[in-house]
Structure 1
Amino acid sequence: MATETLTYGNGTSLQASNLPLNGSSAGKPVDIAMDARRVFEVLKNGGLAIVPADIGYGLVAIDPKALERAFVTKQRQPHKRHAMIGSYALHKELHVLPEREANMVELLTRDIDLPLGVIAPLKMNHPIVQKLGSETLARSSVDGTLAMLVNGGKFQDELVRLTSEAGLPLMGSSANLTGKGTKSLVEDIEPEILAVADIVLDYGKRKFSEPRPSSTMIDFRNVEVLRFGACYDVIQDVLVRFYGITLPEDPGRGANFSGHLREAAKR
């Protein structure tokens, strides 16, 4: 499958393509509905896509074989897990949390409008979860939980709406080689990652790139931080202010580049 590159702004393309620009049919540089539909068509036919989220670019798939291709290309270690690309609505459908913790997620992602990686127990009998298949589920779930990126931006919400309505799981991770950090610009994505994608959607620099791209990840079974990420200082303030929960300080990328607390603890 030849790679499609949908470009942003001035029309500069990273790969040769005779396709129209993002939103060109409407005379504007970005058309989220059209772009999401085109990406969805690639994904449901077994493709891999590089797509924008507010916290950086992601490499996503629906088909398990495409997901494995992404895993191998990223050079991920076997212990690494796939995450679900989701929305607040999908989180409500698939995750199971007590009222207090559910209210925390709603406050952070809906009321205060922050991106967040939510880890919570999963409804294993939900049709979208069943579509993952046993092998993909085993590589995505830990102790019956699943990580889901919630509130990743308008494009992500539209793409997730399409996949959810079709009853399909959208899975993935950041569009970069393992250990090299989430990319806020398409032109910073490694050539190996660009080459494996069947479609690349370039929306320019992502909203949250400093001090960290990627999402803050919290296990809401015990409100434990697993990764420092975007808007972490705001999340810290919200949880201590409204729930009396004090989260650890982020030591910064110099001390912990990936932001993963458990990986840092093993060093």
Structure 2
Amino acid sequence: MIQSGPSYQISPKKDAKNVFRVLQNGGVAIIPSDVGYGIVAIDPGAIPRIFVAKRRQPHKRHAMICNYDLQKQIHIIDSREAEMVRLLTVDLDLPVGVVASYRPDHPIIQKIPQDLLHESSIDGTMAMLVNGGEFQEELSKLATDAELPLLGSSANLTGTGTNVAIEEIEPEIRAVADIIVDYGRQKYSRPRPSSTMINFDELRVLRFGACYEVIQDVFSRFYGLPLPNDPGRDILFSGHLRQHRDSD
């Protein structure tokens, strides 16, 4: 099922409700975000379908798709770093992959089986993709209100890069989805799609992604912290500085 077409009226609130019903029933969804299309699930039994379709390796990790409020509840971040996250995602409205230590006793984390939690975290940290656009905000709110984990990654074969339009997504990835929401070409496609990912425990860049130069400027201008320059896709295609944290 693909929601698109000449007569289709985009409605993030309505579309998110339709997707959430599919996910609650054990389905897999391909969804839009400002940094490209993602493939997500809620039911632990559906996650392996994503792994198989993407041809993922054991060292790859899922990320939690969330809004700022949930990220603030789950992550354990010192006050200065928490201020950074708020400045980037709320005040400046930038998409960011926030990696930090997490609260294992949070009700949503408690819903994740141990084997799946192992596949979604590393060294006590978890990646949470924050501020991915209006549709993602609506879907995240539904999952949060139901105290259910919304897990996934980018909708592409592993290592091929994030896709910013439905027609770019490989047929085998589209085939595994029970519902696909097509909002056309997504906002942040150049110079890189996907979210910039930063470990806020260590203040270290894990992945160069969308809006990276803006994020780099924020760190330097407001906190006096230099971040490395993005070497570009020709030199570092995936953007990942440490492949074992790859959520593509």
Residues in 1 aligned to 2:120 and 2:174: alpha-carbon distance in whole angstroms: 23
| Equivalent position of 2:203 in the other structure | 223
Residues in 1 aligned to 2:90 and 2:243: alpha-carbon distance in whole angstroms: 30
Matching residue within 53, 62, 70 for 1:82: 62
Q: Which amino acid aligns with 1:174?
A: S
**Residue 198 (str. 1) matches residue 184 (str. 2):** no
| Equivalent position of 1:211 in the other structure | 191
Q: How many residues align?
A: 244
| Equivalent position of 2:13 in the other structure | 33
TM-score, structure 2 length as denominator? 0.97
| Equivalent position of 1:165 in the other structure | 145
1:65: how far off? 1.6
| Equivalent position of 2:4 in the other structure | 7
| Equivalent position of 2:91 in the other structure | 111
**Residue 120 (str. 1) matches residue 113 (str. 2):** no
1:105-134 Cα deviation digits (max 9, x unpaired)? 000001111000000110100110010111
| Equivalent position of 1:177 in the other structure | 157
| Equivalent position of 2:237 in the other structure | 257
Matching residue within 226, 237, 256 for 2:217: 237
Q: CA RMSD in A?
A: 1.0
Q: Which has the larger radius of gyration?
A: 1
| Equivalent position of 1:14 in the other structure | none
Structure 1: any 5+ residue segments left out of the alignment?
12-20, 22-28
Structure 2: any 5+ residue segments left out of the alignment?
none
Residues in 1 aligned to 2:56 and 2:40: alpha-carbon distance in whole angstroms: 15
| Equivalent position of 1:94 in the other structure | 74
| Equivalent position of 2:116 in the other structure | 136
Q: Which amino acid aligns with 2:187?
A: K
1:182: how far off? 0.4
Residues in 2 aligned to 1:262 and 1:180: alpha-carbon distance in whole angstroms: 16
Structure 1 residue matching 2:175: 3-state secondary structure: helix
Residues in 2 aligned to 1:231 and 1:249: alpha-carbon distance in whole angstroms: 12
Residues in 1 aligned to 2:43 and 2:234: alpha-carbon distance in whole angstroms: 36
Residues in 1 aligned to 2:243 and 2:125: alpha-carbon distance in whole angstroms: 19
Structure 2 residue matching 1:242: 3-state secondary structure: helix
Structure 1 runs of 4+ aligned residues shifted over 2 Å read none
TM-score, structure 1 length as denominator? 0.90
1:33: how far off? 1.1
Residues in 2 aligned to 1:166 and 1:64: alpha-carbon distance in whole angstroms: 15
Residues in 1 aligned to 2:120 and 2:223: alpha-carbon distance in whole angstroms: 29
Residues in 2 aligned to 1:166 and 1:106: alpha-carbon distance in whole angstroms: 24
Residues in 2 aligned to 1:263 and 1:60: alpha-carbon distance in whole angstroms: 21
1:144: how far off? 1.1
1:263: how far off? 3.3
Structure 1 residue matching 2:126: 3-state secondary structure: strand
Q: Which amino acid aligns with 1:226?
A: L
